[in-house]
Amino acid sequence: MLQLLHPLTPIQPGPPTPPRPTPTVVDGPYECTTYAKFSPRPDFVEIARVTPPPRTNVLAGWWVRLRVEQLLVQLPRQFAPPVLAWLDDEDEQEHVRHRLAVGEPYTLTVHGGDAEYLLTVKLRQAPVRPDLPVAKP
């Protein structure tokens, strides 16, 4: 028969976790691009662009997260810890959405041995339509 040497103490529930604020949603479109540099090449080349572009800063932030998860499976094991830490950091995810909401670009660099990846997101300016009249001062 198994005997416990000391009685189990019941787990006391902690204070409730406050709800996270709803992120501010800002319309885009946002240009999302992945670049890669492979040793020994000195320059970055574009390897992926999102088409159609995300329409809000929240969707663009989700794209960064999804792309980082996709890159994570390609990285050698020793380069994974900082990437995992970035993925687990909710404050950093909110920071990405906030920067995009105020119109600032966001770039994340992921190192992976002989490869280096740049993920860039920026608010795309609306193209000028030649069929619309131009206001003259």
Per residue in 26-63, pLDDT (tens digit) is 787 899 999 999 888 878 888 888 878 888 889 999 99
Asked if the structure places residue 133 within a domain, the reply is no
Asked if the structure places residue 46 within a domain, the reply is yes
Asked if the structure places residue 41 within a domain, the reply is yes
Asked if the structure places residue 67 within a domain, the reply is yes
Domain of 50, in residue numbers = 30-123
Asked if the structure places residue 17 within a domain, the reply is no
**Strand 115-123 and strand 30-38: pairing?**
antiparallel
Structural domains of the chain, count: 1
Residues with Cβ within 8 Å of 56's Cβ and at least 6 positions away in sequence, in order, are: 25, 26, 27, 28, 30
Asked if the structure places residue 40 within a domain, the reply is yes
pTM of the model: 0.70
Helix (H, G, I), strand (E, B) or coil at 111: strand
Asked if the structure places residue 128 within a domain, the reply is no
Asked if the structure places residue 76 within a domain, the reply is yes
Whether the CB-CB separation of 92 and 108 falls below 8 Å is answered with no
Token pair listed for 84: 């995992």
The pLDDT confidence band at residue 20, using thresholds 50, 70 and 90, is: low
Please give the pLDDT value at position 132: 45
